Amino acid sequence: MKTGFTPISLDEYVKLHLKNNPGTSQAAEVTEVLEDTLRAYKQGARCNCGNPIWVIGSAFSGFDGCFTCITGEAYPEDDYEIDEACI
């Protein structure tokens, strides 16, 4: 189980992403890339460092990074992760 993340449903994250990034993507495109990344996560995708990928971060950076490798931070504080990946 991933700890430290704030779980969010895929649909709620798409709404939040579109609100915070107006004009950058369509809901269907954001949903598709998140679903693809979540599928990869569920199939055991790992970062080069060996940790499980961060679905939200990896969706927009190439499907292959954990939280720490993407952000440079050791621990997620108030960072979102798709709820299905937090279980």
- Whether 28 maps to a domain, the answer reads yes
- Whether 50 maps to a domain, the answer reads yes
- Whether 1 maps to a domain, the answer reads no
- Whether 63 maps to a domain, the answer reads yes
d(CA 20, CA 6): 17
Task: Specify the number of domains making up the chain.
Answer: 1
- The domain containing residue 80 runs over which residues? 6-86
Per-residue pLDDT of the chain (87 residues; tens, 9 = 90+): 577 999 999 999 999 999 999 887 799 999 999 999 999 999 999 999 999 999 999 998 886 899 999 999 999 988 999 999 998
- Whether 64 maps to a domain, the answer reads yes
- Whether 60 maps to a domain, the answer reads yes
In the numeric block, which tokens belong to residue 59?
A: 């969706």
Q: What is the pLDDT of residue 20?
A: 92
Q: What is the pLDDT of residue 8?
A: 97
